[in-house]
Structure 1
């Protein structure tokens, strides 16, 4: 029996790699309808991992600097769930969502070993992303994948496809400057054109700003300032050739006063942020509990109270009295949207898990950025260094998205932890590379 297992072991590495590739494909093309299939993929990876442990007769678990922060964050989430206003919904979210994020990370770190495996996975990720964007362009112009005049591709909503593109576009930019041969640069240029144009059609202002920021970050990190100048010139060209509605939409980024007065988007988000702060004041230690349904129910209560107070205050200031006002009755506020999160990642985490959960969350991602940057500084020039810079830039774009949205939900968080898993495979391989060089 042991001999048969030993014969299978060499294949388990390749099976894990292919399974992760299939997982990413399913998550990209069927982000909301492939839960069972993706669970089966993880079971295959788990089987490969178990076979290796049986073969070597020891526990194979890679120690990373994230192990403790992840465990502490899960404990905080569990306590918040037990203390939740809706324990059942919170525990379901903890099991079905949060646990899956970290399982994906640990499976990636413990089953993907070699640098060549990382290369193949990254190459496949870029190809799949390009295909999703190509489908998105087809769907946009044919009308089969468009929502409110925006490109959505397979993601049903423009902000999600925008985050997806923002996660992979910086990687392609960094690899473009690593490769020197014509064909690799040609394919990466084609990818950047398709994804960049798709990102424009999403009309997601946060993504536009995030990509603008990270391109300048990349140009200064690699000490090639001409990248920033070329990108700035490209932006000027786009201003000249794009239809007026895109330019008008982009201008609102600079029109801060008008933007915050807008009742359509920011008006609702300001209300959401105010309501979130009130929730934190009421339950500061462990929050109201995790889960979109928990927040949605709480927001209906807090949002209506705040909106009602503001409506009454406006009426008193303007001295616009109605018959109901004369009888002493308060004006009824309009309904609030059924939002599922705080539209800010820090507020979302603090509302759901309290100040303790927020501090652990910041510790968790501070560790991610610290390991990424320190490893990048130590690595010699090469593919892994370029890839590490691209992934770091991608994480920056996601956190910039987090200023007005939340990435701590499916499928966004699954993509995020998939990439962080690859990041820590590179970090682990980078340690051995640096050790060899020092010797």
Structure 2
């Protein structure tokens, strides 16, 4: 009798851990864009990771690491670790392999394993939408009510820890999710919330005056357009067009403004400087550590190798391009492996869009592919492999993988080590 009670208590404990993990990782994702919330994010992340490992080693839940991205991820991690032996800044490279690669992969696998039902998949979408909506509301108060900044200034320019271009990445991601969640079958109040989210996100995106965000929006809409309701897409286009017509961003797309941008923009100079670094470290790069390029003497040495008219006026410690960034830190081999990750993701998404076994999978695969296109385009002009943008990128990887699992592991199919449907530790709500 006593043994049965102990067994029941143990099972309840494992069931409690199983139920806590989605909430904890949800808290981590919710606070992802907010500054000064490091303690909340770290506590929620490490608790979810601890509970995940306890359940994994106790074999109290059916975890699966089988995904189309697992091999590409593993190869990229292995190559990044090999680069440690040749890194110019070994301590920082060791730190960043964990902080800016393995940590995001932990988030990826936890999301894939704990949000694998339609209900939980939609729950994580709402986490991103509500989180970004609150961030925009706080920014509106901070910029216009407290600081009294004029509309012509970049939205969020004086907000701590996050730049306007990164704000645009977050708001565009939320806008695309909101558009895809709007349905005729939704309760009216839910559609009202989603429409408000689209309007707020469109305003915030335009207010940042980020050209890359507008290009990303065009690219994402081009992907989503074939299947989404045209009225929703036109609503998005009209909203942004109206915002652009009455906001300073319209001045950034005049012919004179574009010519001036081409003349003054330093990105080409930055990329040419980092190309010189890649030439000297073509195989394994300078090491995964992002602080390696904080060495201004090293940067200026390579800057001198660039033709004089294209030299950087001062050191830029980041390449502002995710592909150049990857090639600099992991070499051309690392870049090839990173492109292998992206290729595997696109291949998986294309298969689901074309051959998804139900409308849910096909529609959401298209939406997630659209968000990926948006983040990738913005990543060609910004630093997106760390911080909030990286969490968004790996969440996109995870959401597409969840849809892949729905396609290949239908609901109700048994998994190795998974609890029985009526067991206390069952996976799905």
TM range (shorter): 0.7 to 0.9
**Corresponding residue for 2:427?**
none
**What pairs up with 1:59-138 in 2 under 5 angstroms?**
60-138=63-141
- The answer to whether structure 1 residue 186 and structure 2 residue 192 are counterparts is yes
**Corresponding residue for 1:282?**
280
RMSD: 2.9
SS in 1 for 2:382: coil
User: Residue 23 of structure 1 is aligned with which of 20, 28, 42?
Assistant: 28
Distance 1:178 1:280 in 2: 52
SS in 1 for 2:135: helix
- The answer to whether structure 1 residue 8 and structure 2 residue 13 are counterparts is yes
Distance 2:88 2:50 in 1: 38
**Corresponding residue for 1:259?**
261
- The answer to whether structure 1 residue 248 and structure 2 residue 251 are counterparts is yes
What is the TM-score of this pair, normalised by structure 2?
0.84
Contact 1:219 1:227 in 2 (8 A): no
What is the CA deviation profile of residues 63-109 of structure 1, one whole-angstrom value per residue up to 9, with x for unaligned ones?
11111111111111122232122222222221222221112112222
Q: Sort the Cα spacing of 1:405 and 1:178 in 2 relative to 1 into closer, same or farther, 3 A.
A: farther
SS in 2 for 1:392: helix
Deviation of 1:229 after TM superposition, in Å, equals 5.2
Name structure 1 gaps, 5 residues minimum.
Answer: 312-332
**Corresponding residue for 2:203?**
197
What is the TM-score of this pair, normalised by structure 1?
0.82
Distance 1:251 1:18 in 2: 47
Q: Sort the Cα spacing of 1:237 and 1:52 in 2 relative to 1 into closer, same or farther, 3 A.
A: closer
Which range moves more in the overlay, 294-303 or 129-138?
Answer: 294-303
Deviation of 1:341 after TM superposition, in Å, equals 1.8
Which range moves more in the overlay, 211-220 or 298-307?
Answer: 298-307
Q: Sort the Cα spacing of 1:49 and 1:292 in 2 relative to 1 into closer, same or farther, 3 A.
A: closer
Distance 1:99 1:235 in 2: 37
Name structure 2 gaps, 5 residues minimum.
Answer: 1-5, 414-429
Q: Using CA pairs under 8 Å that are at least 6 residues apart, name the structure with larger relative contact order, 1 or 2.
A: 2
What is the CA deviation profile of residues 266-320 of structure 1, one whole-angstrom value per residue up to 9, with x for unaligned ones?
1x2111111111111111111122233212323232124436x449xxxxxxxxx
User: Residue 209 of structure 1 is aligned with which of 209, 215, 219?
Assistant: 215
SS in 2 for 1:85: coil
Contact 2:213 2:378 in 1 (8 A): yes
Contact 1:81 1:87 in 2 (8 A): yes
Deviation of 1:373 after TM superposition, in Å, equals 2.5
Deviation of 1:219 after TM superposition, in Å, equals 1.4
Deviation of 1:201 after TM superposition, in Å, equals 0.9
Which range moves more in the overlay, 73-82 or 195-204?
Answer: 73-82
Deviation of 1:348 after TM superposition, in Å, equals 1.1
Q: How many residues in Structure 1 have an aligned counterpart in Structure 2?
A: 403
